[in-house]
Structure 1
Amino acid sequence: MQDTTAAATDTKLQRVLDWIERTGNKLPDPAMIFFFSLLIVWALSWLLSSMSFGEIDPRTGEAIVVHNQLTGSSLATFLANMVKTFTGFAPLGVVLVAMLGVGVAEHSGFINTGIKKILDRTPQFLLTPIVILVAIVSHTASDAGYVLVIPLAGVIYYAMGRHPLAGITAAFAGVSGGFSANFVPSAIDPLLQSFTQSAAQILDPAIQINPLNNYFFTSASSVLVILVGWYLNDKIIEPRLQKMVVDGDPEDIPKFAEVTGKEQSALRWALFAMAVGIGLLVASVWSESSALRSPNGELASYSAPLMQSIVPLIFLLFLIPGVVYGYLAGTFKNSRDVINAMTKSMDGMSYYIVMAFFCALFISAFNTSNIGALLAVKGADTLRELALPASVTVVGMILLTGFVNLFVGSASAKWALIGPILVPMLMQLGISPDLTQAAYRIGDSSSNIITPLMPYFPLVVVYAQRYVKGTGIGTLISIMLPYALTLLVCWTAFLLIYWSIGLPLGIQSSYTYGG
């Protein structure tokens, strides 16, 4: 009877998962979603421009008026400013500059060797938490977690006599499920911040958001993700995996490649160069008269050049050790190789640039039409009438984000799409953009590992098939579902507790917005 019930449950779950996959596959590409959204904004601006609204614009104190974007003058201005709108799109420069430095560190082999060295020296009883930790840190190197940490974890688990799929899924949980948990600043921090700031400026044009406005929370969250993943993997997931026989072809199972002596030496000098760079930075800001401090001597102030230099510092933090490692390890022979590494990193960003073009046009039209302000004020009024506690509103946003993430996988694309609505709406309720962004990151990360539409999901299936031939999308989702649900519940509870205690979310951050 229990087997029949379990089979029926599995069948229902599979139908739900199949529906999610079919529905998601029918959605247009994110770039096209922004293009269609632009057309919708134009159409709505034409329809709403003739209507009067009682809502008051908090920026001007006057009634909100929707501006028609289909008039001759509006379309002429749109075309005349198109290039400026694109090149002035804040997230574009943020991501590209950071990835230039990360690309050098990645393609030189510095990041890969560092990850191998950490995992190679890990005792078996600490293997899972270290794998998840390394997976979390790998976010700083774009795709390194997916192309290196996940398959390498399977190799190491297999070499230690443990089930290789346990290693693969633990690393996947850290890389993708813990995407927004990291104690090392990375390009994702200023990327999301730039979208958040653009959205907040719909209501408050003068507002400035610090690039590290969630840093303390994401750092603390890395501990939560490690502990949750460690317990689930070793106590629940791996015991269940024992019934899955490793039947992959021996020739297809990758072997663990030891770090050579030359690579070890290069890694030591690269880390030394990184430490020297960090030391010089600390020394340069130590004095209260430092040029990197704000005029009143503060370091954390947004007006401080240090805070405005977060992205260039990320660039240098990875560029310098990447170059040192490359020359000493032999992966770089001359300056052309360094430039080629930067070029390769930009090759991987080509799609993002295309998406950013349409996103920039959509956000510009959304802001200019005043539809964003109208939605924010009306939505805030509705929520205010419901009189829901702020914590309930934030939890609802997390669940909404997690659901949307099943269909729109890109963190930046999704936030660019819903941020201009949610951020100003919650600001009207007194909830700060910093808290809204932190809530978004939880919903975005937790459901990454159960959506087949996540670009790297099929790749993880391939990694698993090297060991267990019958592994499919449904198999991987069923393994990762406990991670996703547990992370969603525990991480949400963690934010609420963190918030109730009043711990800082990040640098220059707050929980409330006072207008």
Structure 2
Amino acid sequence: MDRFLNGIERTGNRLPDPGMLFVYCLGLVLVLSALFSMVSFSYINPRTGEALQIANLMDAEYLTGLFASMVKTFTGFAPLGMVLASVMGVGIAESSGYINIALKKMIRITPDKLLAPAVVFIGAVSSIATDAGYVLVIPIGAIIFKAAGRHPLAGLAAAFAGVSGGFSAGLLPSALDPLLQSFTQSSAQLLDPDYQMNPLANFYFTFCSTFVVTLMGWFVTERIVEPHLQSVEVSETEAETTSMGSYNAQENRAFNISSLVLLGMGAALFALCLPEASPMRTADGSLTAFTSPLMRSIVPLIFLFFLVPGVIYGRMTGTFKNHRDIMNGMSDSMKTMSSYIVLAFFCAQFLKAFGDSNLGTLLALSGADLLQAMNLPGQITIIGIILLTAVVNLFVGSASAKWAIIGPIFVPMLMAVGISPELAQAAYRIGDSSSNIITPMMAYYPVIIVFAQRYVKNAGIGTIASMMMPYSILFMVGWTAFLLLFWALGLPLGIGATYAYPVM
């Protein structure tokens, strides 16, 4: 296994810098789009209902528009604002010392042997906050492991596995549930116009999956990844050497008061969300709908929930003597994100061109067409869908975008052979989550590289891929087996869900 992972790391690190990789990929998309635009396809684009046509991005008009909209594409890149706003809030809590003492207390009460499952579990649960776990849980996972005297990249890997590999798991419903349900139901209605599906149709399965993902992540972290990282030296200039075992009475008092304020803010938010007429709900009373004010306020809430206790703690301990110290704390947190901002610029241009070309749609449709032609038994078909979704995820990162493309093909196809839309959606979620952690095309992958470089200067795509490959393989196999076990035992997938669809 060590030789295998070392081979992945060596090969991956021979790749260009991630920023240049996106530049090369952009050039490849431009060339391929010109070539495939001359080919006629029989596929129907499910998003438009028209024949699929690859757009020629080498057209002078498109290239002119691409250059003219570069700044708008960059500033409109969704992960950019989320990452920077969240990091500013977390930066205040870090620079004040609030997170440091919180970790000291956590390490005091958490046995060293349980740090790995705790980090993976918290990562999986963070799916309730949609993408916020990428910029919140992952760096904290590295800090916790470093503070406990363990390799920080092992903590980063465990957190990344929980957040991204376990994205479709969770103890509470998230915005992803109604988002995917809307696509699944509309896809099912292509075959059965009266078909209705509950947004929590996979909730029981995803709830139980949280613990399965935690156990698998724990095993991989301690048996494979952490031993593999023993030879990887941590950069002393970036690694914190602060003792995590002690704190004085003033720090303890400041932490307790800051934490009480944090709990009060949480209680106030809960009270605000509780009434049916709450301004944090949608018009129909939903809190977890993707369009609800609560879901759209996740990043500002993270900013405030770290900023306020961080400022209180800093003022009480003297870390922040005036408002300039607070602003400097935010500025310092931005310094570590400069390389990510550069990466985000090129990543945004590539993703825009790739989406405009329809090449991703062609890959999804051709793969789904092949699976349909194979006419395999139900269990094998489900495994095939999981594998195909994982492969498509290497090219199309967005969970909703992929399902919008392949859902209208997968769902009616499976209904025609007696497999329910709810089961098809559960299979899709496994394939999507399991391969999230190994695709550099995922929007947050550059962020993970930047976090890793805080501890290992020469960390690159190969470093992350070699760490995350074992998680991806075990998640794919173990989670698929868990779904098949659920199916074999007849356990309910979620509210109003079934496994079978009556074939006429």
TM-score (norm 1): 0.67
Query: Which residue in 1 is equivalent to 2:28?
Result: 40
Query: Which residue in 1 is equivalent to 2:317?
Result: 329
- The 5 A counterparts of 1:97-496 are 97-122=85-110, 126-130=111-115, 132-134=117-119, 137=122, 141=136, 144-145=139-140, 147-154=142-149, 171=155, 174-180=158-164, 181=166, 223-227=211-215, 256-388=244-376, 389=378, 390-396=381-387, 416=397, 424-425=405-406, 428-430=409-411, 436=428, 439-445=431-437, 489-494=477-482
- State the one-letter code of the partner of 1:89: F
- State the one-letter code of the partner of 1:392: I
Query: Which residue in 1 is equivalent to 2:443?
Result: none
TM-superposed CA distance for 1:277, in Å, is 0.7
Query: Which residue in 1 is equivalent to 2:233?
Result: none
Cα offsets for 1:73-132 (capped at 9, x unmatched): 11111111111111112222222222222222222221221111122134xxx5422564
Asked if the contact 1:146–1:456 (Cα under 8 Å) also holds between the matched residues in 2, the reply is no
Distance (Å, rounded) in 1 between the aligned partners of 2:5 and 2:46: 43
- State the one-letter code of the partner of 2:300: P
TM-superposed CA distance for 1:48, in Å, is 1.8
TM-superposed CA distance for 1:42, in Å, is 0.9
Distance (Å, rounded) in 2 between the aligned partners of 1:338 and 1:77: 41
- State the one-letter code of the partner of 1:178: G
Unaligned 5+ residue runs, structure 2?
Answer: 124-132, 188-199, 229-239, 412-420, 441-447
Relative to structure 1, the CA distance from residue 32 to residue 112 in structure 2 (aligned partners, 3 Å threshold; closer, same or farther) is same
Relative to structure 1, the CA distance from residue 398 to residue 363 in structure 2 (aligned partners, 3 Å threshold; closer, same or farther) is closer
TM-superposed CA distance for 1:62, in Å, is 2.1
Asked if the contact 2:22–2:347 (Cα under 8 Å) also holds between the matched residues in 1, the reply is yes
Relative to structure 1, the CA distance from residue 287 to residue 90 in structure 2 (aligned partners, 3 Å threshold; closer, same or farther) is same
TM-superposed CA distance for 1:391, in Å, is 2.7
Relative to structure 1, the CA distance from residue 306 to residue 145 in structure 2 (aligned partners, 3 Å threshold; closer, same or farther) is closer
Distance (Å, rounded) in 2 between the aligned partners of 1:85 and 1:99: 21
Give me the CA root mean square deviation: 4.9
Cα offsets for 1:124-166 (capped at 9, x unmatched): xx54225641575486646643553113223xxxxxxxxx78x
Query: Which residue in 2 is equivalent to 1:81?
Result: 69
Asked if the contact 2:46–2:405 (Cα under 8 Å) also holds between the matched residues in 1, the reply is no
TM-superposed CA distance for 1:221, in Å, is 5.0
SS in 1 for 2:382: helix
SS in 2 for 1:69: coil
Asked if the contact 1:119–1:131 (Cα under 8 Å) also holds between the matched residues in 2, the reply is no
Distance (Å, rounded) in 1 between the aligned partners of 2:434 and 2:302: 23
Equivalent residues, number: 429
Asked if the contact 2:22–2:350 (Cα under 8 Å) also holds between the matched residues in 1, the reply is yes
Cα offsets for 1:276-314 (capped at 9, x unmatched): 111111111222222222122222233322222122222
Asked if the contact 2:213–2:475 (Cα under 8 Å) also holds between the matched residues in 1, the reply is yes
Distance (Å, rounded) in 2 between the aligned partners of 1:217 and 1:282: 26
TM-superposed CA distance for 1:458, in Å, is 8.9
TM-score (norm 2): 0.68
- The 5 A counterparts of 1:501-512 are 501-503=491-493
Unaligned 5+ residue runs, structure 1?
Answer: 1-12, 155-163, 204-211, 242-251, 405-413, 463-472
Query: Which residue in 1 is equivalent to 2:129?
Result: none
- State the one-letter code of the partner of 2:282: S
Asked if the contact 1:182–1:218 (Cα under 8 Å) also holds between the matched residues in 2, the reply is no
Asked if the contact 1:48–1:66 (Cα under 8 Å) also holds between the matched residues in 2, the reply is yes
State the percentage of identical aligned residues. 36
Relative to structure 1, the CA distance from residue 31 to residue 419 in structure 2 (aligned partners, 3 Å threshold; closer, same or farther) is farther
TM-superposed CA distance for 1:435, in Å, is 6.2
Distance (Å, rounded) in 2 between the aligned partners of 1:214 and 1:312: 29
- State the one-letter code of the partner of 2:273: V
Distance (Å, rounded) in 1 between the aligned partners of 2:86 and 2:169: 13
Query: Which residue in 2 is equivalent to 1:208?
Result: none
Relative to structure 1, the CA distance from residue 284 to residue 481 in structure 2 (aligned partners, 3 Å threshold; closer, same or farther) is closer
TM-superposed CA distance for 1:343, in Å, is 1.8
SS in 1 for 2:50: coil
Distance (Å, rounded) in 1 between the aligned partners of 2:37 and 2:70: 23
TM-superposed CA distance for 1:400, in Å, is 5.4
Distance (Å, rounded) in 2 between the aligned partners of 1:54 and 1:456: 44
